[in-house]
A and B are shown apart, each in its own frame.
Chain A
Amino acid sequence: MDNIPYTVNVREDTGLYNAKLGIWLFLASEVMLFGALFSSYVLLRTGAGASWPAGSSILHVHLGAFNSIVLLISSMTMILAWAALKEKNFPRFKLNLGITILLALLFLGVKGHEYATKFEHHLFPSTSTFMAIYFLMTGVHALHIIGGVVVNSYFWGPGSKMWKTDPEHFTNRIEIAGLYWHFVDLVWIFLFPVLYLL
């Protein structure tokens, strides 16, 4: 009895394979992490009262909106990559996952540009509580994007060898990576209005 069951196949009574349950649990803990950060935002903001600045007066709304669209498209291409594997179309998988990675890098580039302009204007985390929570929340989110880029690049490059030996397992892995990626997008969908617009 050496092999761990349900790494690829679904267990009947739970309807899940191991990694899918694993990623949902991981995302639950991520909800608690970002939930704590959003709660802190609320508490700090209500404590500050009128002295809290309007996000749009400091942050670049257009860049934020552009980045939102970039991430939304990347979510779509991520799904298309998985769907391509389901249809056994490996080149189209490569194309779509490749686009997903490039869009993520574009997002990071825009974010980096935003950070740089803030620093140029002498706006640092220590400047105000608003800047502090802005840098913390977008920074933690950017780390998640970087993590996604690393994972997706692995599956695009060396990790994709598995397609030849165990296509079903590989398709599962892309599904897992996709679930994570959608979650990271979703966090941004909350971050953007909270920080930039409210």
Chain B
Amino acid sequence: MAHAYHDSHQQSFWRKYIFSTDHKMIGLQYGITALCFLLFGFGLMLLMRWQLGYPGEPIPGVGKFLGENNAPGGIMLPEFYNQLGAMHGTIMVFLGVVPILVGAFGNYIVPLQLGAPDMAFPKLNMASYWVFLLGGVTMLVSFFVPGGAANSGWTSYPPLADIATMGQTFWIVGMVFLITSSLLGAVNFIATILQLRTEGMHFMRFPFFVWAQLVTAFLLLLAFPPLEAAGLMQFFDRVFHTSFFLPSGLVVSGEPLQISGGGSVLLWQHLFWFLAHPEVYVLIVPAMGIVAEIIANNIRKPLWGYKSMVYSLIFLGFMSFIVWAHHMYLTGMGTTISAFFQTTTMIISVPSVIILTCLFISLWGGSIRFNTPMLFALAFLPMFGIGGLTGLPLGLAAPDIHLHDTYYVIGHFHYVVAPGTIFAIFAGIYYWFPKITGRKMNETLGQLHFWPSFLFMNCVFMPMFVQGLAGVSRRLYDGGQQYAHAQAVLPLNKMITVCAFFLALAQLPFIINLIWSMFKGEKVKSDNPWESTTLEWATPTPPPHGNFAKAPKVFRGPYEYSVPGASKDFTPQNES
């Protein structure tokens, strides 16, 4: 309907750009906000890396702006280092990666791929963004309260978190906002996918990305509420001085704590990891979805084993709810429970391997187009592979005794999330940018972004495995200077730090490319510049309010590339 297109012009500035209920504008709001948070969280990490590489030396440049309470004379205090650690994790996971994967890509792409006019509940969608922003601001403000931001790690383990400074209360309140936001989003995604798919869009015709978002939404819907319950309990402990997580007879700084006691520190860990393990899959599943889309498009043939990928994904989602205690082998919860969680953990690695294997086999015999999105998507495969396989020793209770809470763990999950998920995010931005803006991103700058990022990501995280195997604990303010067993691997800290700064430099071409291409990038000649089969490319560019001129009808599966006998090497889903 041309009518719908007309409407969007009549909306006021506020309705169109700020309090918009259009899923595409909300997606962009999420994307821009979350990219800023990612950059900020990355900046916190650079400060920490400086302290680890050059302990006790003044931080160049920004050091003098950090304040006397945090870094007198530019030299970082241990308390400030702890804040950076806790907030780097929180910001990257809850304010950076998930909002981009789900809030931005999910919001923008899923209704388009389904042939839907918008999300099922546009007003809830808007509310979800604003509550998210409120949560983000609460987290940022906490840096300026007495004692600074939360400093008990992103896991906020009690009893430490129960008696920590005021920033921890802000952390809980911020988390409650973020949980509410993701709850609104999850309900919306599931309702949209089940109800608003267009005529002919059967489940087995969903693009893999839609499946990924559906499974992710179920994880968010069901895993987050227990953390909300735990957050409320920690809030009670801190504000009303209850003892949910405080055992009897606790002594702090030589003084017995005046509490009723009788609580359990393990209770927090169970509730926290009941969320936080599915959360790991929230971080990786939509990334797999993006990568599957881009690989299918650039090998010009159907994905190998689409159905087994879908079933693996559903199984993965289900299993992710019963592996959480593999984070807790060292808590003394007992070998029987450990044995159970080891078993489920080994089982859950199977569906991930199936998905990855399907994507690898898909490459076989394809005529691959090595453009920037494809490079990032291809790099995702081995990087996520390394991240996943190094997780296996951590999933077994015996080797975990040695590796628990060392740099090995840091290396492992960063391989999953940094060169894994974040590469998928970059791939997605390069891939869908032409649909969003009508212009392509610059290919040369893209390559200039990819190759150094790929190199330095590995230079940063690979040495951490070595440090971890040597037994260096994470969360040490000086990187382990005091420990004899750390001495041999300490020099690696300098190298990692230098590489981290080069990694930061490698992001400059991306930032320049993103802004430059928005205004000056090469204009696309058609609505479907990558010659793709899925429905988001069947809309005008950029998609107007209401998305499709006429509700599309779907006749075929998602990846019908190089169909024998067809006139061209791609057959869109809406082609009869």
Contact = CB atoms under 8 A, between A and B. Distances in A.
Contacts of B7: 2
A140 B232 CA distance: 9
Nearest to A47: B264
A21 B192 CA distance: 10
Interface string B213-252: 0000000011111101110110010001111100000000
Interface string A121-152: 00011111100110110001000000000000
Interface string A8-50: 0001001011110110011011101101110010011001100
B121 A18 contact: yes
A29 B195 contact: no
A36 B226 contact: yes
B32 interface: no
Nearest to B122: A4
A129 B7 CA distance: 58
B232 A136 contact: yes
A18 B196 CA distance: 9
A6 B264 CA distance: 47
B195 A18 contact: yes
Nearest to B220: A29
B183 A29 contact: yes
Contacts of B187: 22, 25-26, 29
B269 to A, nearest CB: 11
Interface stretch (B350-358, B368-376, B542-550): B542-550
A22 B121 contact: yes
B1 interface: yes
B117 A4 contact: yes
Nearest to B548: A1
Contact of B222 (A1, A32, A127): A32
A29 B262 contact: no
Contacts, number: 141
A3 interface: yes
B546 A40 contact: no
B225 A30 contact: yes
B222 A29 contact: yes
B118 interface: yes
Contacts of B117: 1-5
Contact of A28 (B221, B233, B267): B221
Nearest to A49: B262
A125 B1 contact: no
Contact of A129 (B186, B262, B547): B262
Q: Of B116, B225, B267, which is in contact with the most chain A CB atoms at under 10 Å from its CB?
A: B225
Interface string B434-475: 000000000000000000000000000000000000000000
Contacts of B244: 40, 44, 129, 132-133, 136
Nearest to B552: A1
Q: Of A2, A21, A124, A133, which is in contact with the most chain B CB atoms at under 10 Å from its CB?
A: A2
B565 to A, nearest CB: 32
Contacts of A3: 117
A11 to B, nearest CB: 6
A165 interface: no
B263 interface: yes
B271 interface: yes
B260 interface: yes
A44 B45 CA distance: 38
Contacts of A36: 225-226, 228-230, 271, 274
A32 B225 contact: yes
B186 A4 contact: no
B224 A29 contact: yes
Given A4-B196, A18-B191, A129 B260 contact: yes
Interface in A51-99: 51
Contacts of B222: 28-29, 32
Contact of A5 (B196, B232, B274): B196
B122 A124 contact: no
Contacts of A28: 221-222
A1 B186 contact: no
A150 to B, nearest CB: 15
A127 B221 CA distance: 34
B242 A129 contact: yes
A22 B196 CA distance: 13
B259 interface: yes
Interface in B243-283: 243-244, 259-264, 267, 270-271, 274
A87 to B, nearest CB: 28
Contacts of B241: 125-126
A78 B145 CA distance: 46
A141 to B, nearest CB: 12
B225 A4 contact: no
Contacts of B223: 32
B381 interface: no
B427 to A, nearest CB: 29
A44 B262 contact: yes
A1 B4 contact: yes
A86 B559 CA distance: 46
Contacts of B124: 22
Nearest to A136: B236
B515 interface: no
Nearest to A21: B191
Contacts of A25: 186-187, 190-191, 221
Contact of A128 (B120, B196, B260, B546): B260
B198 to A, nearest CB: 9
A28 B222 CA distance: 7
A2 to B, nearest CB: 4
B262 A33 contact: no
Given A40-B229, A40-B244, A125-B236, A1 B260 contact: no
Given A1-B550, A22-B121, A29-B225, A124 B240 contact: yes
Given A2-B1, A32-B226, A127-B260, A21 B240 contact: no
12 contacts: A1-B550, A2-B1, A14-B195, A17-B195, A26-B187, A32-B222, A32-B223, A36-B271, A40-B271, A44-B267, A126-B259, A128-B260
Given A1-B1, A16-B195, 10 more contacts: A4-B118, A5-B117, A14-B194, A21-B195, A25-B187, A25-B221, A30-B225, A32-B223, A129-B242, A132-B260
